């Protein structure tokens, strides 16, 4: 019960806290304010500009339907409401959209507007709009005005080909840009292209470089820029382009073919498709997707031929290049491969850049080169092309001959040949095969080096072998063959035998040790009893004789019950006197044991005890 009540109390506290928080948030909400922005502060006569008045901190306001400015027609075209929550701060705002149509050139000031909010009022700032008299940008772009396309769609896109250089040499890479502009409100989508039409030149693969918003003649366009490079394949004057592309854009669906003038939403009787309410309320009417063809103006291009007297190793490279070379290893034997890495970097038509060639290839065998190109720009006219060429010396050499690479420099308008320095290397040894072939297995590097002469005709191989082993050989390594693992059973069995034998031996040794320990323990116990004088003569002599037997058994490793006086005396190599005393000890013990307790004295004298003890203690092997 208590738990339920406590939970209910906690929930109530949480609810009260939340409500309190929102009350505080609302109390500290910003006071109402108004802002006004123009979609563009520059416009031309006849081009519409959007004005947006935003009243923040209010859910409803009273804004004017029209704004009176001489030379401008301003009508309200839409209202929307926004709620934002930022760090638990809820903000509501009302947005009023106006469309401005300049009807004459000049600088216009849109006065502050008073927006009423119940009993309060807020004011917008004053705005300035510059209206130019020019009709708008059309020189560098034009849209295809096919019959199938409505006029409104053509106002939404443009295409442009920018070729900064108008004069070039054959093969010279000239960077070019294709710019495709779209009205962002039309939700454009590039459907096809762009492609550059024309003949007599090659283009690099188009690369989309950037996409950004640009304002052109007062209109905002989403401009996609493609970069490429153009290289002429023949001399002469020809046109590049036009650039063609196709795009899909959204335009308002037309109800009738004849445009109805005086529609409530086309306030200014213009062809601007965005004066349609579709763009203010896209769900109010369905849009229509149309495909638009885009086409730019062509660019003219003067191409000069390359001058004659090209160097012999000129492969058509035009541009500006530098070359570096490297070879490794530097120390080889005759016939060993050396990898020569040469890098041609710079700017130009890298597809015509071939591997630098050895200026003197006598005594060298050259393999075909491999290359890889690392471009530094989007279109591949700037970068570094690396060639790897494997060469092998046929004879002793001290240096790698210089490598040469020729190209045409369009700036200097002349051919340039790059030369690497001769790289010092060490080529040792000679052609070993001749020696080996004649004396198989006997050649050493030293003898091979001594006979290093380039052979003019190929060596012949050795004779056929007609013998064959009786058993087929195998490529399978020994460790992967079942026979090898089967053979391991032999040492394994031997190991198991060894372990078994050693275990048995250890157990046996263990039993012997236990027996010895028991006898030692018994001997010690008997000696302790003998030192006491509380036992009867029968017990005393019996223990004494047993002690002798046990000691003898320990010394001789025999059963103590089989020991007699002679055996003990022999075991300890006693003298005659001790032997006699030992014999008497055994006789006395037997006498007392077998003839009854009444024979002999009733006790043992201390001297007798000492004598017996001394005898037994002196029994040492």
**Which stretches of the chain bind another protein, using CB under 8 A?**
335, 337, 339, 365, 367-373, 388, 390, 392, 431-433, 436-437, 440-441, 458-470, 472-475, 477-479, 484, 488, 491, 494-495, 498-499, 502-503, 505-506
The closest of 344, 342, 338 to 367, measured between CA atoms, is: 338
**Shortest Cβ 389–another protein spacing (Å):** 9
Smallest distance from the beta carbon of 366 to another protein, in angstroms?
Answer: 10
Exposure string over 173-195, b if 16+ CB within 10 A, otherwise e = bbbbebbbbbbebbebebeebbe
Question: Among the residues of 148-243, which ranges form H helices?
Answer: 151-154
Residue closer to another protein (CB basis): 411 or 465: 465
- Who's near 122: CB < 8 A, 6+ residues apart? 32, 33, 34, 55, 61, 114, 115
C-beta of 6 vs 507, nearer to another protein: 507
Q: Are 564 and 586 in contact (CB under 8 A)?
A: yes
Instruction: State how far the Cα of 170 lies from the Cα of 228, in Å rounded to an integer.
Output: 17
Which residue, 437 or 597, is less far from another protein as judged by CB?
Answer: 437
Nearer to another protein, 133 or 336 (CB): 336
- Could you count the other beta carbons within 10 Å of the beta carbon of residue 130? 15
User: Least separation, in Å, of the C-beta of 495 and another protein?
Assistant: 6
Min CB(444)–another protein separation in Å: 13
For residues 11 and 479, which CB has a smaller minimum distance to another protein in the complex? 479
Distance CA 317, CA 299 (A): 25
Nearer to another protein, 3 or 491 (CB): 491
> Closer CB to another protein, residue 208 or residue 370?
370
3-state secondary structure 123-141: ECCCEEEEEECCCCCCCCE
Compare residues 208 and 438 and give the one whose CB is closer to another protein: 438
CB 303 within 8 A of CB 357: no
Cα–Cα nearest to 156, from 311, 269, 293? 293
Q: In what order do the strands lie in the sheet with 236-240?
A: 167-169, 299-304, 236-240
- Where would I find the H helices in 345-475? 433-438, 445-450
Least separation, in Å, of the C-beta of 191 and another protein?
A: 28
The answer to whether 252 and 86 have CB atoms below 8 angstroms apart is: no
Cis status, amide bond into 609, omega within 30 of 0: no
CB of 464 to another protein, least distance (A): 5
Q: How far apart are CB 472 and another protein at their closest, in Å?
A: 5
Closest separation in Å from C-beta 414 to another protein:
32
Residue with smaller CB distance to another protein, 199 or 474: 474
Name the DSSP letter for residue 553.
H
For CA atoms 118, 119, 124, 126, give the dihedral sign.
Answer: positive
Nearer to another protein, 286 or 495 (CB): 495
Nearest distance from C-beta of residue 358 to another protein, angstroms: 16
């Amino acid at each position: 019960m208590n738990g339920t009540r406590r939970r209910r109390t906690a929930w109530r506290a949480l609810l009260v806290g939340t409500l309190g928080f929102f009350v505080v948030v609302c109390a500290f909400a910003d006071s109402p304010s108004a802002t006004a922005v123009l979609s563009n502060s520059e416009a031309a006569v006849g081009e519409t500009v959007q004005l947006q008045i935003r009243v923040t901190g209010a859910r409803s306001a009273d804004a004017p339907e029209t704004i009176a400015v001489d030379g401008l027609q301003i009508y309200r075209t839409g209202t929307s409401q926004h709620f934002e929550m930022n760090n638990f701060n809820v903000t509501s705002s009302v947005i009023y959209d106006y469309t401005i149509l300049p009807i004459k050139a000049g600088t216009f000031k849109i006065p502050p507007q008073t927006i009423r909010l119940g009993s309060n009022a807020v004011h917008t700032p004053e705005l300035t709009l510059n209206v130019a008299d020019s009709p708008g940008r059309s020189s560098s772009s034009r849209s295809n005005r096919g019959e199938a396309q409505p006029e409104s769609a053509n106002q939404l896109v443009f295409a442009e080909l920018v070729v900064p250089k108008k004069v070039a040499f054959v093969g010279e890479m000239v960077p070019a840009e294709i710019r495709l502009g779209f009205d962002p409100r039309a939700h454009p989508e590039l459907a096809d292209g762009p492609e550059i039409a024309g003949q007599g030149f090659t283009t690099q693969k188009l690369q989309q470089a950037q996409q950004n918003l640009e304002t052109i003649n007062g209109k905002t366009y989403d401009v996609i820029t493609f970069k490429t490079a153009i290289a002429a394949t023949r001399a002469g004057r020809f046109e590049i382009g036009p650039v063609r592309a196709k795009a899909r854009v959204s335009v308002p669906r037309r109800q009738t073919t004849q445009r109805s003038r005086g529609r409530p939403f086309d306030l200014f009787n213009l062809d601007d498709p965005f004066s349609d309410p579709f763009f203010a309320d896209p769900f109010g009417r369905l849009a229509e997707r149309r495909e638009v063809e885009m086409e730019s103006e062509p660019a003219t291009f003067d191409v000069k031929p390359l001058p004659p007297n090209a160097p012999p190793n000129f492969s058509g490279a035009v541009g500006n290049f530098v070359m570096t070379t490297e070879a490794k290893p530097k120390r080889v034997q005759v016939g060993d491969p050396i990898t020569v890495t040469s890098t041609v970097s710079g700017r130009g038509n890298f597809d015509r850049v071939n591997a630098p060639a050895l200026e003197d290839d006598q005594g060298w065998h050259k393999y075909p080169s491999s290359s890889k190109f690392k471009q530094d720009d989007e279109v591949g006219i700037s970068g570094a092309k690396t060639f790897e060429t494997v060469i092998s010396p046929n004879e002793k050499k001290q240096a790698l001959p210089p490598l040469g690479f020729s190209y045409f420099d369009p700036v200097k308008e002349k051919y340039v040949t790059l030369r690497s320095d001769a790289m010092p290397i060490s080529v040792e040894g000679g052609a070993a095969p001749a020696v080996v072939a004649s004396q198989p297995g006997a050649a050493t590097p030293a003898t091979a080096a001594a006979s290093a002469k380039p052979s003019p005709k190929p060596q012949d191989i050795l004779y056929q072998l007609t013998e064959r082993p009786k058993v087929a050989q195998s490529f399978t390594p020994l460790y992967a063959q079942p026979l090898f693992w089967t053979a391991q059973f032999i040492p394994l069995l031997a190991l198991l035998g060894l372990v078994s034998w050693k275990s048995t031996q250890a157990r046996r040794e263990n039993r012997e040790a236990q027996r010895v320990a028991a006898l030692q323990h018994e001997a010690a116990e008997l000696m302790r009893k003998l030192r006491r004088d509380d036992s009867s003569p029968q017990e005393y002599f019996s223990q004494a004789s047993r002690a002798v037997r046990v000691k003898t058994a320990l010394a001789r490793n025999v059963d103590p019950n089989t020991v007699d006086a002679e055996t003990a005396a022999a075991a300890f190599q006693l003298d005659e006197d001790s032997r006699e005393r030992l014999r008497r000890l055994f006789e006395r013990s037997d006498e007392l044991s077998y003839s009854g307790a009444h024979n002999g004295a009733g006790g043992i004298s201390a001297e007798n005890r000492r004598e017996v003890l001394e005898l037994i203690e002196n029994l040492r092997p």
